[in-house]
């Protein structure tokens, strides 16, 4: 499981199967298939990709409220 923050929202992503993830945050848990979020949400070397991965996860959760 990987945890991260974006816009003061605590989120986590964990593997649920091959190419399948559970994304949790903003009080909900959803099925998620964007592997780039899992790969880059904690990437210290590439800030742009890390920020984009976190933003995409945040917006996906926000749109599913």
**What distance in Å separates the CA atoms of residue 8 and residue 17, rounded to the nearest whole number?**
28
For 50, the domain range is 2-63
Instruction: Calculate the average pLDDT of the chain.
Output: 96
d(CA 38, CA 15): 8
Neighbours of 25 (CB within 10 A): 21
pLDDT band at 60; cut points 50, 70, 90:
very high
pLDDT digits (tens, 9 = 90+) for 8-33: 999 999 999 999 999 999 999 999 99
The structural domain count of the chain equals: 1
Flag whether the pTM goes above 0.85.
yes
Average pLDDT over residues 33-56: 96
């Amino acid at each position: 499981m990987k945890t991260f923050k974006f816009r003061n929202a605590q989120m986590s992503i964990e593997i649920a199967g091959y190419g399948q993830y559970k994304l949790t945050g903003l009080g909900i848990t959803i099925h998620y298939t964007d592997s780039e979020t899992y790969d880059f949400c904690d990437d210290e070397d590439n800030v742009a990709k890390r920020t984009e991965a976190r933003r995409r996860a945040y917006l996906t959760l926000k749109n599913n409220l």
